């Protein structure tokens, strides 16, 4: 019997195997990893420095131990070059491999924007533990760090490094932090707390060129200003890895297109995690991956199970000003409503029927994440006199 082959050793790949082993200990499974195959928490990469953790300290379970625990074969430092859908085989840097079913959990690549300057190639990104290890080495003696991108990853790195004593500048063409996740009233809450620990915000502009300087680099910004930095990090987003699937003739869009059963346009090939577009949506966070992994494990064990995603809030790791958000689609019909403010803000997104379909909690309100999650789908009644709002629980 040919094995189930899982391509990718991140959270998605290992999670689906863990869940499958709860249901079936016998089916042969092979995992292919571009790197060493060790299991670690990728979200920890953006807040490990202030905790004094190097790359080795982030490894939770070595690849050999994962193979032993799960009863699988792990092939490390292997690249998949092509998929032959008809023959159900992979061409790899370690020879040809045949599969019974194939799971693509390949993740995503950092988006790199073109820029000028003799040091444009020196701009770094952190997308895996090897990237983090190289960055840690480069940070010896460094004082100034420039981060391109004020989204989730950029803000987490900014908080982590500023808390560790670095002078951090964040450059973003948007008007405020976390603009893709929340309204300005909420995003702006991060400005003062992070500035207080050493973050220099540069909004409404972008980096146009990076040149070598006597020490470090000179960044020329689109608004004509300049910035000096010892390290430049790009954190402007990720692009799902679809090239391999596309070359094999699988349907792709932003990600590898799969249905509610995580099945691609080929019945024996599945995808989940950052590389997958599940029923039209790419969901690059931990909770969606875990739900998808549980559903796919049942499917691989013989029980067709559609993945169902509940309300899944995202926690932004910015200890200087905590944030929890249940984002809504950019084209969602409705409006954000402020429920409370103080040392932070509490907001709900109300649909056309005044039902809560999203929320954002910052500062002192971030701890109310579980409570607000339970209120998804309930209705808000707004007092005629203005800002006194009461939630009517249980109305569906």
Instruction: Label residue 51 by pLDDT band (50, 70, 90).
Output: confident
Asked if residues 230 and 217 have their Cβ atoms less than 8 Å apart, the reply is yes
CA atoms of 283 and 286, how far apart (whole Å):
9
Whether 348 and 185 have beta carbons less than 8 Å apart is answered as no
Q: What is the pLDDT of residue 329?
A: 85
Q: pTM for this structure?
A: 0.91
- Stated length of the chain: 396
331 pLDDT tier (thresholds 50, 70, 90):
confident
Rounded CA-CA distance 138/241 in Å is 27
Report d(CA 378, CA 394) in Å as an integer.
6
Rounded Cα distance between 318 and 345, Å, is: 15
Closest CA to 148 of 206, 221, 209, 208: 206
Q: Which is it for strands 167-172 and 144-148: parallel, antiparallel or unpaired?
A: parallel
Assigned CATH class of 322-392: alpha beta
The yes-or-no answer to whether 4-108+238-300 and 322-392 have a common fold is no
Q: 152-208, pLDDT tens digit by residue?
A: 999 999 999 999 999 999 999 999 999 999 999 999 999 999 999 999 999 999 999
Given strand 167-172, what is the order of strands in its sheet?
Answer: 199-203, 167-172, 144-148, 231-234
* Domain spanning 112-234, CATH architecture: 3-Layer(bba) Sandwich (3.50)
Paired tokens of 382: 């707004």
pLDDT at 86: 98
The b-or-e profile of 134-145 (16+ CB within 10 A means b, else e) is: ebeeebeeeebb
Superfamily of structural domain 4-108+238-300: FAD/NAD(P)-binding domain (3.50.50.60)
Segments making up each domain of the chain, as ranges:
4-108+238-300, 112-234, 322-392
Residue 393 has pLDDT above 50, yes or no: no
Residue 366 CA, chain-centre distance (Å), reads 20
Q: Which pLDDT tens digit goes with each residue over 115-131?
A: 999 999 999 999 999 99
**pLDDT tens sequence across 340-380:** 999 999 999 999 889 999 999 999 999 999 999 999 999 88
Nearest-angstrom CA–CA distance, 136 and 117: 24
Distance CA(61)–CA(35), nearest Å, equals 14
Confidence of residue 381 (pLDDT cuts 50, 70, 90): low
């Amino acid at each position: 019997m040919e094995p189930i082959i899982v391509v990718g050793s991140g959270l998605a790949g290992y999670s689906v195997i863990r869940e499958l082993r709860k249901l079936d200990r016998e089916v042969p499974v092979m995992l292919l990893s571009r790197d060493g195959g060790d299991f670690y928490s990728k979200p920890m990469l953006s807040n490990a420095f202030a905790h004094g953790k190097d790359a080795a300290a982030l490894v939770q379970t070595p690849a050999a131990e994962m193979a032993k625990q799960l009863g699988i074969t792990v092939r490390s430092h292997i690249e998949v070059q092509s998929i032959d859908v008809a023959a159900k085989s992979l061409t790899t840097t370690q020879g040809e491999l045949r599969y019974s079913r194939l799971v693509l959990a390949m993740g995503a690549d950092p988006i790199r924007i073109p820029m000028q300057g003799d040091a444009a190639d020196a701009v770094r990104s952190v997308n895996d533990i090897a990237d983090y290890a190289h960055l840690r080495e480069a940070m010896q003696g460094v004082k100034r760090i420039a981060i391109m991108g004020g989204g989730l990853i950029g803000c987490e790195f900014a908080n982590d490094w500023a808390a560790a004593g670095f002078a951090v500048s964040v450059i973003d063409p948007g008007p405020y932090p976390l603009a893709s996740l929340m309204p300005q009233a909420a995003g702006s809450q991060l400005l003062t707390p992070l500035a207080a620990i050493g973050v220099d915000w540069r909004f409404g502009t972008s980096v146009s060129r990076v040149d070598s300087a006597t020490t470090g680099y000179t960044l020329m910004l689109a608004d004509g200003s300049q910035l000096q930095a010892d390290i430049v990090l790009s954190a402007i987003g990720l692009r799902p890895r679809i090239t391999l699937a596309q070359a094999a003739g699988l349907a792709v869009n932003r990600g590898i297109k799969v249905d509610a059963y995580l099945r691609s346009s080929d019945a024996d090939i599945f995808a989940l995690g950052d590389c997958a577009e599940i029923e039209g949506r790419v969901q690059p966070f931990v909770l969606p991956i875990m739900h998808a992994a549980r559903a796919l494990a049942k499917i691989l064990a013989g029980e067709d199970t559609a993945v169902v995603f509940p309300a899944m809030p995202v926690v932004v790791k910015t200890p200087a000003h905590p944030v929890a958000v249940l984002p809504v689609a950019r084209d969602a019909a409705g409006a954000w409503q402020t429920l409370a403010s103080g040392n932070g803000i509490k907001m709900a997104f109300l649909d056309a029927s005044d039902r809560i379909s999203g929320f954002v909690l910052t500062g002192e309100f971030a701890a109310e994440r579980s409570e607000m999650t339970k209120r998804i789908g309930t209705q808000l009644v707004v007092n005629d006199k203005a800002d006194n709002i009461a939630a009517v629980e249980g109305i569906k």
